[in-house]
Each structure stands twice: as structure tokens, then as C-alpha cells.
Chains A and B, each alone.
Chain A
Amino acid sequence: MKVGGQPGEYPTVLIGSIFYDRHRIVSDANKGEFDRVRAESLIKKQEKLSDKTGSPFMLDVVGSTAEALMKYAEFVCEITEAPFLLDGPSATVRIPVTKYAVEVGLKERIIYNSIDNTIKQEEIEAIKELGIKAAVLLAHNPRKLWPEGRLEILKGYTNQTGLLEAAKKACVTNLLVDVSVLDMASIGLATKSIYLVKQELGLPAGCGPANATTTWKKVRREYAPYGFPVCNASACTTTQIMGANFVLYGPVEQAEAVFPACAMTDALIAYSNRRCGIRPKVKNHPLFKIF
């Protein structure tokens, strides 16, 4: 799966989160017990929508303990062949699960989520030792939350090693820059940051607008039942307009709203950019499937 390229070449990769905290299909978040039938159905639904629309997909597999995350990862591998993000809340969760994933031959399929400004030397060394090649760089810079702050945290500044340097030390070569979303209003800053990161660094960039939309209570309260799914999908398409190569669209349950909206947006961008000589580089691009 290719992530990146000029707008219109490769469709945006849509990443749904599963087993996230308080996900209804999870019965024990410590032990990683969950409803396997419902989990499979959610993954399959995303897969079908991907086939239908031409929008590629990944999963953000979230677990709060190593035991749980290991079980989730194992299950996801049984159900789908898509790459997935291994998303744990700390290195003490992520590293043992990554080690396990490497041992069972999943090294090429996992994307380490994530390397951020709090990363310590031990974690960098562990990633290097495990030979993980793909990771998300979380470009969150609390002291400068404007778009240029994302570049600053990626490149580094006084007394702060840049995320690019950390990734280099960890020998990670396939980078996805998540420009980070703080609140609803900051989705606008994030989209601008995507443009900036791609322009300055030429790296695939995207973000998770759902980090904000899922906490936006007013939209659920005052605009139910369509407010949330529509605004969440709309927030995702906003990022595509500024060149997002991937979107963490939130709970995998939102796939039905997000896939057609994002596929349509990819198609519009691709059609428009054909006039500039940029053509879709995959046969099943949404431009050829969605209309």
C-alpha cells in the first residue's frame, strides 16, 4: 500500500480505530477480552467499503495493556491482511507487543504508533533492535501549536531532539507524520500543517480529526442523529483538501459515513489535478469507482 504522492495520485488511506478505550465490543480492557463476532464484522465492513470506494484502509489497533494489545493484534491479523497501527499508551505497552509481533512474522505489517517528543533513548533503541521500519511521528508541539510549530518539533530545536532525528536513530524509514489535533478549532491548523509538512519535508502527512470530533458534545446533543457522523466525515475531507495522505477517522463504526465522503473528495481532487498532468497511479482509484 502506497501512502503519499502528489494530490490525485494515490487515494487517502483511511484508518479506523478499534478496541479503543470504552469501545463497546471490549468487555475487559486489561485482559483484552472482546466480542470477536462484532469485531470481525466491523473490520469486514471497513474492508467492503474500501473495495467498493477504492479508498485504502488500515486499522489503528488500540490497547491499554500489553496483554490486551497482543490479543487484539493477533486477532486483527487473522481477519485482515491490511497493515495496522500498533497503538499503545506508553512504551511499556508498545515495545513488548512490537517484539511479539516481530517474533510471529508481522514486522512488515505493523506501524509503530507513535514516536513523539517524550520518546526516551531506551524506546529508540528498542525500536531499532526490533527492526521496525514504519512509524507515526506525532508532531505535537505544546509550546508552539501553530503550523510552523509542527515543523519545529519535527526538525528539533534547542535542547529538543527533533522527531526526524529520533526516527533516524531508531532506523525507521517509512514515516507518517501525524500533525496532531487538539480541539475542534485546531483541525484548521492541522490541515494547514499537513500542507506545510509536505511542502517542506516531502513526507506523507495526515491527522486524526476524530480526536476532536469525538469529544464535541454539542454536535451530538443538538444535531443528532446526523450531526456527528456528518461533521466527522466533513472534518476528514477538510484535511484531504490540504493534501492529507492518511486520515485517522475515529471509531471504525464511522466507516459508513467516512468512506463515501473521503472517496468522493479524492475523486474530485484527482479529476481536477489531471489537468496539471498528475494522474491516478492506481487502477482502483476512487475516481474510477465512486461515481
Chain B
Amino acid sequence: MEKIIGELRRMILDYDVEGVTLAAKKAVEAGVDPLKAVEEGLARGIREVGDKFGEGKIFLPELVMAAEAMKSALEVLEPELKKKKKERKTVGRVLLGTVAGDIHSIGKTIVVAMLTANGFEVYDLGVDVPVERFVEKVKELKPDLLGLSALLTTTLPVQRDIIEALKRKGLRDDLKVIVGGAPVSKEWAEEIGADGYGANAAEAVELAKKLLYTSQ
């Protein structure tokens, strides 16, 4: 059992998507406690990756691949957690996506990777996400934090549309919203009623921690 958990951690540290998925399947077959597999295997590995990134020892490719590996293994382990009614310990639940009309994914992927590495439970809606889908998913997943990425000046107004739509549906008050992307500024975030903005992925993570800690 310990061996499989160690393998999960090691595969994350090797940025091996296929390897970690196989290890996760092995864990399920061997009846390893899925919570232990996630927390002592995957989460431990991803924290180590996050630390190395923070120290400048590794770079974005490794961080992104580690996050992809974690995502892939969670797809195997999460149904087991649900089956056994066990909940992961997380810093907070985050829903993220790039807004409609915008297919830029790299910035968002980096934020997803860094949030994951810092212990957040992250749901990535992908790119070109319509306003309605953000609203639907907020309703369904009840995240603590919503992250809206826009990389173009032309798609920036969609961030405002989403916040307005959330207000109309009565979903805005229980939720923190942060915005990011190259054209986003502190002034813009204030103007549209977001709770904050991150100029880069590291800032986004710090902001997420600050917002969630102070609201708890």
C-alpha cells in the first residue's frame, strides 16, 4: 500500500501523466484508501513540485505537466472518494476558465497548476467558456472562488458580463471572484466589481489565499 502511494508521489515528481494514471488505477484495484492516495501521494508530490517552482529550480513546463498528471490521476481517484463518501482536505474550491471568445489557455493553465500545487481543489472549465456555463457551474459546484481569464482587450468585457450574470442569479455574494490576463488591471477589477486581480500566477495564488483565509 505504502509502495503504491510512494509511486503516485514519484510519478507526479516525474511529470508522468501515463505513469500516474496507471498508479492511480493500481491504487483502486489494491483497495488503497483513496483519501490517503490523494493526500499522501498526489498532493504531497504536487506540493514538492510547487516548492521547487517557487525556488526557481524548475520551470513552467514541469509545473504544467505535474498539474496535468495530478488532474489525470484525480479522474481515477475522485469517483472512489465519492463512493466512499470521503472529502479531500483542500485550501478551497476554485472554478476557473477563459472567457467566451478567447482561446488562450497557457496563462490559465499556469494558474491552475500553481493553485493545485498550493492545495486548492481546482475545476478548469477550459477556454472560450460562455457566460451561462460559468453561472451553471458556480451553481453546481459551489466554489469558494471563481477565476476569470481574458487575454484580449476585446474579450475583457466578458468578465464584467459574468459578474453581472452572477449577481442577477443571486450567486455573487457567497463567492469571491478574481480576474486575470494580460490586459487586466487593478482599476479594471475594481470597475467591474471583482474581488481582486493577479498580475501573474504567483500573485493569483497569493490573492486566492488571502481572500479565502480572510473570508473564513
Give the B-binding residues of A (Cβ under 8 A).
21-22, 29-30, 64-65, 68, 89-90, 92, 118, 142-146, 182-186, 189, 215
30 contacts between A and B (CB under 8 A): A21-B152, A21-B153, A21-B182, A21-B183, A29-B152, A64-B101, A64-B153, A89-B102, A89-B103, A89-B155, A90-B102, A90-B103, A142-B64, A142-B65, A142-B109, A143-B17, A143-B65, A143-B69, A143-B72, A144-B17, A145-B61, A145-B64, A182-B60, A182-B106, A183-B59, A183-B61, A185-B60, A185-B61, A186-B60, A186-B61
- Name the one of A22, A90, A144 contacting B128, with C-beta atoms under 8 angstroms: A90
Give the 7 A-B CB pairs with smallest separation, nearest first: A145-B61, A185-B59, A183-B60, A64-B154, A143-B17, A143-B68, A64-B152
Tell me how far the C-beta of B133 lies from the nearest C-beta in chain A, rounded to whole angstroms: 15
Contacting residues, chain A, for B151 (C-beta < 8 A): 21
B61, A146: Cβ atoms closer than 8 Å: yes
Contacting residues, chain B, for A92 (C-beta < 8 A): 101
Contact pattern, B 91-106, Cβ under 8 Å of A = 1, otherwise 0: 0000000000111111
Give the A-binding residues of B (Cβ under 8 A).
17, 59-62, 64-65, 68-69, 72, 101-106, 109, 127-128, 151-155, 182-183
B154, A182: Cβ atoms closer than 8 Å: no
Contacting residues, chain A, for B154 (C-beta < 8 A): 21, 29-30, 64-65, 68
Residue among A65, A142, A186 facing the most chain B CB atoms (10 A cut-off): A142
Q: How far is the CA of A257 from the CA of B127 in the complex (A)?
A: 35
Contacting residues, chain A, for B182 (C-beta < 8 A): 21-22, 215
Contacting residues, chain A, for B64 (C-beta < 8 A): 142, 145, 182
Contacting residues, chain A, for B105 (C-beta < 8 A): 142
Residue among A118, A146, A182 facing the most chain B CB atoms (10 A cut-off): A182
B17, A182: Cβ atoms closer than 8 Å: no
8 further interface pairs, Cβ-Cβ under 8 Å (given A22-B182, A142-B105): A21-B151, A22-B153, A22-B183, A68-B154, A118-B127, A142-B64, A143-B65, A143-B72
B61, A182: Cβ atoms closer than 8 Å: yes
Count contacts between A and B, CB distance < 8 Å: 66
Contacting residues, chain A, for B59 (C-beta < 8 A): 183-186
Tell me how far the C-beta of B125 lies from the nearest C-beta in chain A, rounded to whole angstroms: 14
> Would A29 and B61 be within 8 Å (CB), given that A90-B103, A118-B127 are in contact?
no
A142, B101: Cβ atoms closer than 8 Å: no
Tell me how far the C-beta of B182 lies from the nearest C-beta in chain A, rounded to whole angstroms: 7
Contacting residues, chain A, for B65 (C-beta < 8 A): 142-145
Q: How far is the CA of A195 from the CA of B188 in the complex (A)?
A: 43
Contacting residues, chain B, for A215 (C-beta < 8 A): 182
Tell me how far the C-beta of A88 lies from the nearest C-beta in chain B, rounded to whole angstroms: 9
Contacting residues, chain A, for B155 (C-beta < 8 A): 64, 89
Q: How far is the CA of A184 from the CA of B68 in the complex (A)?
A: 20
Contacting residues, chain A, for B152 (C-beta < 8 A): 21, 29, 64, 89
A118, B103: Cβ atoms closer than 8 Å: yes
B101, A89: Cβ atoms closer than 8 Å: yes
Tell me how far the C-beta of B153 lies from the nearest C-beta in chain A, rounded to whole angstroms: 5
Contacting residues, chain A, for B104 (C-beta < 8 A): 89
Tell me how far the C-beta of B114 lies from the nearest C-beta in chain A, rounded to whole angstroms: 13
Contacting residues, chain A, for B128 (C-beta < 8 A): 90
Contacting residues, chain B, for A22 (C-beta < 8 A): 153, 182-183
Q: How far is the CA of A219 from the CA of B62 in the complex (A)?
A: 23
Residue of A nearest to B58 (CB): A185
Contacting residues, chain A, for B109 (C-beta < 8 A): 142
Residue of B nearest to A189 (CB): B61
Tell me how far the C-beta of B124 lies from the nearest C-beta in chain A, rounded to whole angstroms: 11
